[in-house]
Amino acid sequence: MATAWAWMVDKKVSGASNAKFGTQSRKYTEADRFHLRPMPNEDIHVFVKKIDNTRVVREQDPKANASAWRTISMAGVIALAVVGVIVPIANSYLAGYTVTEIEKQNSQLESQLARLSVREAELTSVEALARAAKNQKYLDPSPETMVVLNETRSGAVALNRDRQ
């Protein structure tokens, strides 16, 4: 703050008055206006040595290996627990979807069965059969053209188990 205040009133940091160095400082400022003031500790040089740690090997911690395996096993147990919770939920969701789909298909089949039953009743009615016979010119056979097969019913059949 002291250097900023000195600069604002055009004084040196040492506290010299403006009358003593006023003209000289103005000429110096006009001639070299872009010259920066010195930085604090500018004359100190710090040497930084490059350190090569490529051959340094860290000492093995005997507890680190056990800790790593404990962490891996706990992660595996947690993963199995999460899968054990998610699989039944997903299975019930998919089963519910399948049940819903089957119920929908069942209702469609029931409605189709009802329509087909009505259509079958319409087609097998006596009036419909008579109409079909008339359209296709079916005629009842005359009694002379009819041949009755196996007019008498005898007890003889092709396979008789009682007979040995």
131: in domain: yes
**Number of separate domains in the chain:** 2
Cα–Cα distance between 88 and 12 in angstroms, integer?
83
Query: What pLDDT, on a 0 to 100 scale, did the predictor assign at position 46?
Result: 83
Same domain, 82 and 131: yes
Of the candidates 29, 15, 38, the one whose C-alpha atom is nearest the C-alpha of residue 6 is 15
Question: Within 13 Å of residue 63, how many CA atoms lie on the same side as its CB?
Answer: 0
Same domain, 72 and 126: yes
Query: What pTM, to 2 d.p., does this model score?
Result: 0.34
Say if CB 3 and CB 13 are below 8 A apart.
Answer: yes
Say if CB 9 and CB 22 are below 8 A apart.
Answer: no
146: in domain: no
Query: What pLDDT, on a 0 to 100 scale, did the predictor assign at position 13?
Result: 46
Same domain, 81 and 129: yes
Domain span including residue 4: 1-36
Of the candidates 77, 57, 73, the one whose C-alpha atom is nearest the C-alpha of residue 65 is 73
77: in domain: yes
70: in domain: yes
Say if CB 38 and CB 29 are below 8 A apart.
Answer: no
Query: What pLDDT, on a 0 to 100 scale, did the predictor assign at position 2?
Result: 56
Full pLDDT tens readout for the chain, 164 residues:
555 555 555 544 444 444 444 445 555 556 567 777 788 888 888 888 999 989 998 888 888 888 999 999 999 999 999 999 999 999 888 888 888 899 999 999 999 999 999 999 998 898 988 888 888 888 777 888 888 776 666 666 566 566 55
147: in domain: no
22: in domain: yes
163: in domain: no
